[in-house]
Amino acid sequence: MSDLQVQEQLSEKVLRKLGQLEQEIGKAVIGQRQVIRDTTIALLAGGHVLVEGVPGLGKTLLVRSLAAAVGGVFNRVQFTPDLMPSDISGHIMFDRKSDSFRVRKGPVFCNFLLADEINRAPAKTQSALLEVMQEQQVTIEGQTYELQLPFLALATQNPIEQEGTYPLPQAQLDRFLLKVYIDYPDMDEELLMVKQITSGSVADKLDVSSIQEVLKPEEIISLQRYTSTLGVDEQIVAYAVNIVRTTRDWSGIETGSGPRGSIALLRAGRANAVLSGRRFVTPDDIKAVAPAVLRHRIKLSADLEIEGYRADDVLKDILSNVQAPRV
Amino acid sequence: MELDKLEISLRRRTPWEAIDLGFALARRWFKPLWLLWLSCAAPLGIVLFFLLYDQLGWLMLIIWWFKPLYEPPLMFWLSRAVFGEQLGVKVVLRQWWSVVRPQLLLNLTFRRFNPSRSFTLPVALLEQLKGTARRDRLRVLGRQQHAATWLTVIGIHLETVLEIAFVTVVFMLIPEDLRWTSFSDLFLAPGRFGDWLQLAGGLLCMSVIAPFYVAAGFALYLNRRSELEAWDIEINFRRTSERVKGNASSRTRSGVAAMMLATVLAIAAPLISTPADAGQPVSAQDAKPLIGKVLADEAFGRYEQTHYWKYTGQPETDRDSDNGFIELLAKLLNGVGRALEGSADIGKILIWIAGISVAVFLIYQVAKNSQWFRDFQRRPVRKGRNRPVELFGLDLRPDQLPDDPAEEARRLIAQGAFREALSLLYRGALVYLVIQEHIDIPDSATEGECEQLVRDNRSAGEADYFNSLTQHWLRMAYGHIVPAEEPVVALCQQWQEVYGNVDR
């Protein structure tokens, strides 16, 4: 059996499960389809997600549901101003019983990590997490520990209450594959959500018991490999690069995206194609993921910000001006 | 016109005193005037509210613009009230249309920005003059009458100040803990509440200022007519005549009355502009001895000599003054003034041209942004539209397509050139959409977006076919997956049915 056939078989089998993955998460997280789709894209592309939204919109539930559907380990860290790097990565402690030092691994040793309100912790703690996200390994007292894969970090930011926060610098924002806005659900979705959560529940504990495990962590790793080897036409690559390069010369953008933006566009575009059930990437895949991939990689000029424009408005203009690929 | 019944005391007044008189009238009859204004404005306001309840800015502008619908009834009521006939509000409302209708279109458009609106209104409303007659009358009435313009300027300022004061008072009455917005935001970024507040304040202030504005304009008009037609003298003589009537014998009385009347006519004749009110004209020959007689009287025949000091030397010039720039500027401006002396007509024409240009530009802008205008323009615009000649690298010029694309595609399939065949079919479909169906496909449109456009604008059958064609094209173009022959041949057959009538 050739490699191609193996790959095709893998995709046929696993793609069916992938469709179920989004459905399973949707059982617990009512509405927020785009957020679920973006998180799944990040999972397939092996990236991390920065979620921005007001509290109480289901960010924790989203990650817990994802963990439940994939059968992975879920951890949550509430970022506070006194959080230390070792509180995330772990540290060495002296065990008096065994009369020896032993490593206590931090919450980062998991498959799905929710870094809640990441901008509330000081820069060094943020950096510790971001290094882990990039390297996928942790060094404690000179000893390197590999993280258990797949590893997806979902960091949240609150757009309100900015006093006393440490906004992530542009260089660190760049480490996130996607930035996702999570918004209020509409009336019907909220009604359904409230009914579902309050029926038979004593407190407002998040219930993910209805979610079935549809994929195993190993299958996710296979899927990630499959996604990364998906064929991309030269024109598509050129299209992604064109979009990113346009952000650098666009009026109203102070700092455009770097080459990491183009790379992220292709990674996310591939994942989007896989989720759409295709074995090739189309310009639509790139266009669909471009806002989430680029919105945190560009910095608007002061006058646009004062006028109330958001990165998405400018990106919309860019996408409607960059020529689609010419085959 | 029965001057005997006039309820105001007529005497020679300056225009500013006349405005004062108008304000006194408005204070005296404020309630009926205010009710009249509200009764006229409220129905329009309610109708507009239902039409434009979420566009309060427009609502406010329209209510303000339509002031010529609410002011004439006030003028009508005042014109009766000063002669002792106080009509009921209902009576005036019943005649509303006949009062408002004369020259309404002009009042709402051309004359809306007339700065002496309340002063000129009686000419059209009460004298029923129009066209050249109106213009001539206004020329006589309006000579040296600038107070009417100032009345409008002051009215606008008072209205604005009152509105700001109203919003300020409401803001101050909101407890500090409950304030959700700043004072400046209430004006600059008002939001829903601010909009409503400004609307309410605007209406209230308009209704309060309107009676004063109209009454002052009317008083100015009365004063000017009294000045021109010597109403005050006429009234005084009538009163004197009445008084004398009781004491003197009928002969004496008639003699005195005849003499007084002759005197009045002699004095007033050159000033009278409406002969109907002036009585019988007296020839200059007859008037001369009468005037001489009157002037010989003690009251007129007195000469006084007064003395005063006047400096007759050359004024000293301050050579060390540092006002060189100002003097230079003054010289320059005087020079320009002298150069343009007598060219006021040119300036007037230029102002008219500028005004008309601005109006045309505004109308064009409004029309350009409204849907009906776009619909109206659709066909001519599309005739001259630049069609895209290339999309996704595909040549869309109709003359680049073969006569029968489907047949050509079949020939290519037979040769194994699937990519070229699909490209041809896809290109043919796009040519049809762009040329025949006038669907705007921007340069940045991806295949998915084209599909969405077809789904939105074309029938379900055509959308299904286009979807199938796009999927095959995408697989071939980006996935490099060579399709089976059968489905592509089927696509060729269907192409003929769907797009066979493409006009090339």
Q: What is the mean pLDDT of residues B343-367?
A: 80
Task: Using DSSP, state whether A78 is helix, strand or coil.
Answer: strand
Same domain? A234 vs A197 = no
Domain shared by B186 and B283, yes or no: no
Boundary-marking domain end, from A203, A238, A259? A203
Nearest-CB residue to B393 (from A284, A319, A327): A327
Per-residue pLDDT, B104: 85
In a domain, A17, yes or no: yes
Write down the pLDDT at residue B496. 78
Residue where a domain stops, chosen among B296, B315, B338 = B296
Residues B130 and B215 in one domain: yes
According to the per-residue pLDDT averaged within each range, which of A197-201, B20-24, B142-146 is highest? Answer: B20-24
Q: Are strands A299-300 and A100-105 parallel, antiparallel or unpaired?
A: unpaired
- Does residue A84 share a domain with residue A19? yes
Structure confidence by residue, pLDDT tens digits, A272-322 = 988 888 888 889 999 999 999 999 988 888 888 887 888 888 898 888 888
Whether A252 has a pLDDT exceeding 80, the answer reads yes
Distance CA B87, CA B81 (A): 7
pLDDT at B190: 65
Query: What confidence tier does B423 reach under pLDDT thresholds 50, 70, 90?
Result: confident
Interchain contact, B478 vs A279, CB within 8 Å: no
| Maximum average pLDDT range among A61-75, A148-162, B102-116, B262-276 | B102-116
Q: Does B106 lie at the interface with A, CB-CB under 8 angstroms?
A: no
Structure letter (DSSP) for residue A119: G
Interface contact flag, B444 A233, Cβ < 8 Å: no
pLDDT of residue B317: 63
The minimum CA-CA distance between B442 and chain A, rounded to whole Å, is 8
Q: Is the pLDDT at B166 greater than 70, yes or no? A: yes
Looking at CA atoms only, how far is residue B175 from chain A in angstroms? Answer: 24
A184 in the same domain as A95: yes
Are A280 and B478 an interchain contact pair (Cβ–Cβ within 8 Å)?
Answer: yes
B177 and B260, same structural domain? no
User: Do A157 and A263 share a domain, yes or no?
Assistant: no
Q: Is the pLDDT of residue B265 over 90?
A: no
What is the predicted pLDDT for the residue at B207?
Answer: 92
| 8 Å CB contact between B87 and B80 | yes
Give the residue numbers spanning the domain of A105.
1-203
Query: In this model, does residue B425 exceed pLDDT 80?
Result: yes
* B264 three-state secondary structure: helix
Which pLDDT score is estimated for B383?
34
Q: Is B281 at the interface with chain A, CB within 8 A? A: no
Place of tokens 């005063």: B308
Q: How confident is the model at residue A207 (pLDDT cuts 50, 70, 90)?
A: low
Q: Considering the domain boundaries, does residue A210 fall inside one?
A: no
Locate the chain B residue with the closest alpha carbon to A317.
B444
Among all chains, which residue has been given the structure tokens 């003589």? B237
Band (pLDDT 50/70/90 cuts) for residue B262 is: low
What chain A residue is nearest to B476 in terms of C-alpha separation?
A: A280
Of A231, A235, A319, the CB nearest to B444: A319
Question: What pLDDT was estimated at residue B48?
Answer: 85
B373, B468: one domain: no
B313 versus B204: the higher-pLDDT residue is: B204
Q: Do A324 and B443 touch (CB under 8 A)?
A: yes
Q: Best mutation site among A282, A285, A306 for testing chain B: the one with the most B CBs within 10 Å?
A: A282
pLDDT tens for A219-234 read 888 888 888 888 888 8
CB-based contact A152:A113 (threshold 8 Å) = yes
Does residue A225 form part of some domain? no
3-state secondary structure of B381: helix
Q: How confident is the model at residue B162 (pLDDT cuts 50, 70, 90)?
A: very high
Q: Domain range holding B102? A: 3-229
Å between A326 CA and nearest CA of chain B: 4
Q: What is the pLDDT of residue A27?
A: 77
Give the chain A residue whose CA is nearest to the CA of B419.
Answer: A327
Compare A41 and B345 and report the one with higher pLDDT. A41
Across the range B55-66, mean pLDDT stands at: 85
Task: Assess if residue B304 is contained within a domain.
Answer: no
Half-sphere exposure of residue B26: CA atoms within 13 angstroms, side-chain side? 23
Residue B318 included in any domain: no
Mean pLDDT of chain A: 82
Query: Does position B504 have pLDDT exceeding 50, yes or no?
Result: no
Residue B325 domain flag: no
CB contact under 8 A, B477 and A324: no
Task: Please report whether residue A242 resides in a domain.
Answer: yes
- A243 and A159 co-located in one domain: no
In this prediction, residues A65-73 reach a mean pLDDT of 81
What is the band of A71 on the pLDDT scale with cuts at 50, 70, 90?
Answer: confident
Same domain for B72 and B20: yes
Q: Can you tell me which residue has the tokens 């599309």?
A: B382
Contact B493/B406 with Cβ under 8 angstroms? yes
Question: Among B193-207, B335-349, B374-388, B438-452, which stretch is predicted with the lowest mean pLDDT?
Answer: B374-388
% of chain A at pLDDT higher than 70:
91
Chain A residue with the nearest C-alpha to that of B478 = A233
Tell me whether residue B224 is in a domain.
Answer: yes
In a domain, A75, yes or no: yes
Determine the Cα–Cα distance for residues B114 and A103; give it in Å rounded to an integer.
Answer: 88
Q: Does residue A215 sit within a domain?
A: no
Asked if residue B191 and residue B212 are part of one domain, the reply reads yes
Q: Would you say residue B258 has pLDDT above 80?
A: no
Is any Cβ of chain A less than 8 angstroms from the Cβ of B448? Answer: yes
Query: Does A326 contact B474 at a Cβ distance shorter than 8 Å?
Result: no
Can you give the pLDDT at residue A96?
A: 84
Count of domains forming chain B: 4
B452 vs A: CB within 8 A? no
> How much of chain A is helix, strand and coil, in % rounded to 5?
50, 15, 35
Higher-pLDDT residue of A216 and A246 is A246
pLDDT, tens digit, 9 for 90 and up, residues B380-407? 333 333 455 565 555 666 666 777 778 8
Cis omega (within 30 of 0) on the bond before A150? Answer: yes
One domain, residues A110 and A236:
no
Nearest to A324 among B446, B475, B481 (CB): B446
How is A52-106 classified by DSSP, letter by letter?
A: E--SSSSHHHHHHHHHHHHT--EEEEE--TT--HHHHHEEEEEETTTTEEEEEE-
Chain B residue numbers touching A280 (CB-CB < 8 A): 474-475, 478-481
Q: Is B442 on the interface with A (CB under 8 A)?
A: yes
Which band of pLDDT confidence, cut at 50, 70 and 90, is reported for residue B77?
very high
On chain A, the residues whose CB falls within 8 A of the CB of B446 are 282-284, 287, 324
In a shared domain, residues B198 and B257: no
Percent of chain B with pLDDT over 90: 11
Assigned token pair, A132: 């882990």
Check whether residue B423 and residue B438 sit in a common domain: yes
Tell me the CATH number at B441. Answer: 1.20.120
- Using 50, 70 and 90 to split pLDDT, how confident is the model at B344? low
Residue B493 maps to a domain: yes
Average pLDDT over residues A171-186: 85
In a domain, A220, yes or no: no
Same domain? For B211 and B80 the reply is yes
Task: Kindly report the average pLDDT of chain B as a whole number.
Answer: 78
Contact (CB<8Å) A280/B393: no
Mean pLDDT of A196-205: 63
Confidence check: pLDDT of B54 > 50: yes
How many cross-chain Cβ pairs, A to B, lie less than 8 Å apart? 57
Q: Which residue has the higher pLDDT, A107 or B161?
A: B161
Shared-domain flag, residues B444 and B368: no
| Mean pLDDT confidence for A80-91 | 83
pLDDT in tens, B292-305: 888 877 777 677 88
Q: Residue B92 and residue B100: Cα distance in Å, rounded?
A: 11
* Lowest-pLDDT range of B8-22, B141-155, B256-270: B256-270
Question: Does the structure show a pLDDT above 90 at B19?
Answer: yes
Residue A251 has pLDDT above 60, yes or no: yes
Report, as an integer, the average pLDDT of A12-39.
79
Bridge partners of A93, per DSSP, are A102
Question: Do the beta carbons of residue A112 and residue A39 sit within 8 Å?
Answer: no
Determine contact: B126 vs chain A, CB below 8 A. no
Task: Over range B24-43, report the average pLDDT.
Answer: 91
Q: What pLDDT score does B1 carry?
A: 59
User: Mind telling me how many Å the CA of B423 is from chain A's nearest CA?
Assistant: 10
Please name which of B127, B83, B134 lies closest in space to residue B111, comparing C-alpha atoms: B134
Reading the block at residue B353, the tokens are 């041209």
pLDDT level of residue B3 (50, 70, 90 thresholds): low
The whole-angstrom separation of Cα B144 and Cα A202 is 87
Query: Residue B472: its chain A contacts at CB < 8 A?
Result: none
Q: Which residues in A lie closer than 8 A to residue B448 (C-beta atoms)?
A: 282-284, 287
Task: Compute the distance between CA of residue A50 and CA of residue A117 in angstroms, rounded to an integer.
Answer: 10
From B214, B229, B244, give the residue that closes a domain: B229
Q: Are residues B223 and B237 in the same domain?
A: no
Q: Do A280 and B474 touch (CB under 8 A)?
A: yes
B211: CB partners within 8 A, 6+ apart: B26, B29, B30, B33, B34, B37, B74
B388 touches chain A (CB under 8 A): no
Question: Residues of A near B (CB-CB distance < 8 A)?
Answer: 231, 233, 235-236, 278-284, 287, 319-327
Q: Do B447 and A323 touch (CB under 8 A)?
A: no
pLDDT in tens, B198-223: 888 888 899 999 999 999 999 999 89
Asked, for residue B7, whether it belongs to a domain, the answer is yes
Pick among A280, A315, A321 to test the B interface (most B CBs inside 10 A): A280
Do A18 and A152 lie in one domain? The reply is yes
Write the CATH number for A54.
Answer: 3.40.50.300
Closest to B447 (Cβ–Cβ): which among A233, A279, A284?
A284
Q: Is B191 on the interface with A (CB under 8 A)?
A: no
Predicted local distance difference test score (pLDDT) of residue B385: 38
The reply to whether residue B444 touches residue A322, judged by beta carbons under 8 angstroms, is: yes
For the residues A97-122, what does the mean pLDDT come to? 83
Is residue A224 in some structural domain?
no
Predicted local confidence at residue B211, as pLDDT: 94
Question: H/E element holding A14?
Answer: helix A3-28
Residue B434 is predicted with a pLDDT of 78
Greatest Cα-to-Cα distance within chain B, rounded to the nearest angstrom: 133
How many structural domains is chain A composed of? 2
pLDDT for the residue A253:
87
Q: Say whether B445 and A326 touch across the interface (CB within 8 A).
A: no
Of the two residues A145 and B77, the one the predictor is more confident about is B77
Distance, CA of A273 to CA of A286 (rounded, Å):
9
State the pLDDT at residue B340.
67
Answer yes or no: is B193 within a domain: yes
- The reply to whether B245 falls in a domain is yes
pLDDT the model gives residue B379: 36
The mean per-residue pLDDT over the stretch B235-250 comes to 74
Sign of the CA dihedral with A86 first, then A89, A91, and A97 last? positive
Contact across the interface for A324 and B475, Cβ inside 8 Å: no
Write b or e for each residue in A147-178: b if 16 or more Cβ atoms lie within 10 A of its Cβ, otherwise e: beebbbbbbbbbeeeeeebbebeeebbbbbbb
Task: Note whether B477 contacts A: Cβ–Cβ < 8 A.
Answer: yes
Same domain, B147 and B239: no
Query: What HEC string does B418-431 produce?
Result: HHHHHHHHHHHHHH
What is the CATH classification number for the domain harbouring A271? 1.10.8.80
Nearest CA in chain A to B450: A284
